[in-house]
Amino acid sequence: RHALLRDAAYDMQLTSRRRALHHLAADTLLADCPQEAPSFSRLAEVAYHYDQADMPDAASEYYGQAGEWASREYFNDQAIAYYGRAIDLQPAIDKDPVRYRLLLGREAVYQLLGRREEQRNDLVELETILSRVPDASRRAEVSLRQAGLALTLGDYESGVSWAKQSALAAMETGDREAEAKAYHRLGRAYWQQGHAHEAEPVLQRALELSRLIDNPQEIAECLYDLGVVRHYQGHYETAR
């Protein structure tokens, strides 16, 4: 019995020492990590050491950052793995704001890769978070993504409904960028249904908002969709 207690105490000391060393390694790596454009592999290494040091909040934060930077550089499989570990380390309901941000990041990677089932699952969890803590800004964002998935799957009716929800929520918060994106997606849903007349005023509104916030990419995409709509209407000169 005394031998067992001795071995248990020894293992506890080893575990405590190992965690302290991992903590020191994470802090040392982080001090040498550039702030402006950090390497996602370095961030993942920092996260790993915090993970081994049994510091879940710090580990989740840096796994999340690693996922974000990996996705920016199109290392999509790594991004999914990092986001996944970050999410696993934030299981509690009181961590909803953190999980929300991480799920948004992973959902965007799934969308890019065409992994629709996983994308749908993340959107379901995002909706669950919103049901617990309603928020108009988040509603605009999640509904916009729901609309994008619906349109990708050819479910135009649902795409229109989600886009309308997004626009209403964005108007409630006064977020013109979110409102522009929502109207743009709604206009695209209409013309993809073949409803060019409904699409045109909505796309015009999206274009006006995009110009107000001076968003060149959104302006260009609105103009493209308006050109498509006018082409369908037979207005070839204005379509150009």
Sign of CA dihedral 72, 73, 74, 75: negative
Instruction: Label residue 240 by pLDDT band (50, 70, 90).
Output: low
In this predicted structure, the answer to whether residue 10 has a pLDDT above a threshold of 50 is: no
pLDDT at 208: 97
pLDDT in tens, 32-88: 877 777 789 999 999 998 998 999 999 999 999 999 999 999 999 999 999 999 999
Q: What is the DSSP string of 126-137?
A: HHHHHHHS--HH
DSSP SS3 for 195: coil
Angstrom distance (rounded) from CA 187 to CA 133? 29
Q: What is the 3-state secondary structure (H, E, C) of 73-115?
A: CCCHHHHHHHHHHHHHCCCCHHHHHHHHHHHHHHHHHHHHHCC
Query: Which residue has better confidence, 135 or 96?
Result: 135
pLDDT in tens, 198-221: 999 999 999 999 999 999 999 999
- Single out the residue of 99, 95, 98, 145 nearest to residue 120, CA to CA: 145
Amino acid at 128: T
What number is the average pLDDT over the span 165-170? 98
